[in-house]
Amino acid sequence: MEKVFRTESPIETQNIGEEFGKTLKPGDVVALIGDLGAGKTCLTQGIARGVGIAKGEVVSSPSYILINEYNGKIPIYHIDLYRLENIAEIADLGIGEYVESDGICIIEWAERMKEGLPKNCITINITWEDENTRTIKIQHSIP
């Protein structure tokens, strides 16, 4: 299944994320792929809202600490692999445990995990079109 959206502002991207977040279930893994500034963190803010994370909880980029955890009805593990030095770090950081957990994993720069990504993950590609325009493609792999 594939869905494509075009957004013209960060708020529109968050709204797409929110609607998508409402469809997520415990154990889902979301692989976010897109360049720096594409809008992966922005989309994640909307997804967290859709999953039911309280509005007061500020979802920010976990670039420096790699993993942020948000506790709502379903816990969210927001992982950012931008600063990943090598593939062995995935194991060192225990990312596999998050991916196999009953929480929801949202992974920025997910392509850096390579084979570490589950086969049934939901892939979202975000493409920068111009300053305020992004294309968001959501793909559910066929089980």
Contacting residues toward Mg ion, per CB under 5 A: 40-41, 61, 108
Binding-residue pattern over the window 14 to 53 for ligand ADP, x denoting contact by CB under 6 A: --------------------x-xxxxxxx-----------
Q: Dig out the tokens for 29 from the structure.
A: 């893994």
Tell me which of ligand ADP, Mg ion, none is bound by residue 34, counting a contact when its beta carbon lies within the kind-specific cut-off of 5 to 8 angstroms. Answer: ligand ADP
Report the residue from 15, 61, 101, 135 that binds ligand ADP according to the rule CB under 6 A. Answer: 61
Distance CA(109)–CA(8), nearest Å, equals 22
Residues 6+ apart with CB under 8 A from 51: 21, 22, 24, 72, 73, 74, 76, 104
The distance of Cα 5 from the centroid of its chain, to the nearest Å, equals 16
Tell me which of ligand ADP, Mg ion, none is bound by residue 36, counting a contact when its beta carbon lies within the kind-specific cut-off of 5 to 8 angstroms. Answer: ligand ADP
Of 64-103, binders to ligand ADP (CB under 6 A) are: none
* Residue 121 DSSP one-character state: P
Closest to 111 (Cα-Cα) out of 129, 130, 92, 90 = 90
**Considering only CA atoms, which of 91, 3, 8, 92 is closest in space to residue 42?**
8
Only segment of 9-17, 51-59, 69-77, 87-95 that touches ligand ADP (CB under 6 A): 9-17
Question: Is position 13 an interface residue for ligand ADP (rule: CB under 6 A)?
Answer: yes
CB of 102 to Mg ion, least distance (A): 25
Give the single-character DSSP code of 78. E
Closer by beta carbon to ligand ADP, 27 or else 63: 63
When asked if residue 127 is in the footprint of ligand ADP (CB under 6 A), the reply is: no
Report if residue 10 touches ligand ADP, rule: CB under 6 A: yes
